[in-house]
Amino acid sequence: MIETAPDRLTRMLAMVAYLRDNPAVPVAEVAEHFAITEDQVIADVNTLWVSGTPGYMHGDLIDFAGDDLDHGVLTLLDSREMDRPLRLSPGEAVALLVALQSLQGAALAPEDSALVEETIAVLRTAAGEAAQAADAVELVDRRREVDDRAARIREGLLAGRRLHLRYVSASDQTTERDVDPLQLLTDGERWFLVGWCHRAEGVRHFRVDRILEVQVLDAAADAHPDVRLTGRTEPDTARAEQVRLELASRARWFAEQLPDAHITELDDGWLELTVGVVDLAWLHNIVLALGPDVRAVEPASIAARLSATAQSALDAYAALERH
């Protein structure tokens, strides 16, 4: 499995703190401590060696003792304060306070609720006058709306009746559709409706917080004995249409966000991403947004549809320019 960029960044920052507290450590010992190979330790050090603070001249970069490294030992000479605790700006402190205060109304376990309250108290003290700005932010609780929709979905499930949804998809398209409800699931943070969508003629997963309206219809929901319910809150993308993309390395952030995606490093630094796609409209939006960071799409039928969508967009822009 390819290591994600956030995981590597976290390890490298931890390595700086570790080397500050443990001078002249053999590379093998560092590799054992972080459960990585010695080659990966050297790769991390080489990346840190060209990292630092704005200016990025020689005196602005993290520095190691080169002679020690030649003998298989790591000695940190200058951390550029990367080993110091983070100091929040007033704006960052307010944003964090607002986020924590929004958690207070959530259904947290007692120990989690106590931790949130303690963190808020500490942060308010550290933020000083800036904490007053957080008190001026009005938090709108959308959980009640979500709970109401979940209750109507549950009503349809128990009564065996079809639902009518007005829904905003991940591709930011608003549609109306009739759905036979099959399951109502939660991952602990969000509710999901699994249902047979008559518009798509297949099973779809709907995030309840993206449902704008839900109506319980008089029509009875059809039985779908062939549908295999997995209990997962996300679509089974392994059973969806498999699409292969070639992405530039700077689009790695996108690839790492996809569940069940398979990422392969290509020899020229690009990435090969294979992912199951349920909603082709979502794929169209993503590929158009990534633009030159996508150089190949397979199968050819999907590539042709993407090309036609892109050409339609270009034609629309050209028509605007003529007018």
Q: Measured between alpha carbons, how far is 92 from 95 in angstroms, rounded to an integer?
A: 5
Instruction: List the one residue out of 276, 275, 239 whose CA is nearest residue 255.
Output: 275
Say if residues 8 and 55 touch (Cβ distance below 8 Å): no
Say if residues 76 and 64 touch (Cβ distance below 8 Å): yes
Backbone torsion region of residue 243, taken as left when φ is above 0, otherwise alpha when ψ lies between -120 and 50, otherwise beta: beta
Say if residues 19 and 76 touch (Cβ distance below 8 Å): yes
Q: In the prediction, which pLDDT does 107 show?
A: 46
Q: Is the pLDDT of residue 151 over 70?
A: yes
User: Percent of the chain beyond pLDDT 90?
Assistant: 22
Q: Which alpha helices (H) appear in the chain, and where do they start and end? A: 5-21, 27-34, 38-49, 66-70, 90-104, 110-127, 131-135, 143-159, 252-256, 280-290, 300-322
Would you place residue 2 in the very low, low, confident or very high pLDDT band (cuts 50, 70, 90)? low
Q: In the prediction, which pLDDT does 321 show?
A: 76
Q: What is the pLDDT of residues 269-301, one digit of tens each?
A: 899 999 888 777 778 888 888 888 999 999 999
DSSP string over 29-79: HHHHHHTS-HHHHHHHHHHHHT-BSTT-SGGGB-EE-HHHHHTTEE-EEE-
| Mean per-residue pLDDT, 100-126 | 73
Architecture of domain 238-322: 2-Layer Sandwich (3.30)
* Both structure tokens of 234: 């996300």
Say if residues 242 and 275 touch (Cβ distance below 8 Å): yes
Report the chain's mean pLDDT, rounded to a whole number. 82
Q: In the prediction, which pLDDT does 322 show?
A: 74
Q: In the prediction, which pLDDT does 86 show?
A: 59
For the structural domain made of 152-234, what CATH number should be given? 2.30.30
Q: Which residue has the higher pLDDT, 121 or 34?
A: 34
Q: What is the pLDDT of residues 32-46, one digit of tens each?
A: 999 999 999 999 999
Q: Measured between alpha carbons, how far is 243 from 291 in angstroms, rounded to an integer?
A: 17
Q: Is the pLDDT of residue 161 over 90?
A: yes
Q: In the prediction, which pLDDT does 217 show?
A: 94
| Mean per-residue pLDDT, 302-314 | 86
Q: Measured between alpha carbons, how far is 221 from 164 in angstroms, rounded to an integer?
A: 11
Q: Which residue has the higher pLDDT, 271 or 4?
A: 271
Say if residues 81 and 15 touch (Cβ distance below 8 Å): no
Contacts of 200 (CB under 8 A, 6+ apart): 177
| Mean per-residue pLDDT, 214-219 | 93
Instruction: Report the CATH fold assignment for 5-78.
Output: Arc Repressor Mutant, subunit A (1.10.10)
Say if residues 196 and 224 touch (Cβ distance below 8 Å): yes
Among 141-155, 166-180, 280-294, name the one with the lowest average pLDDT: 141-155
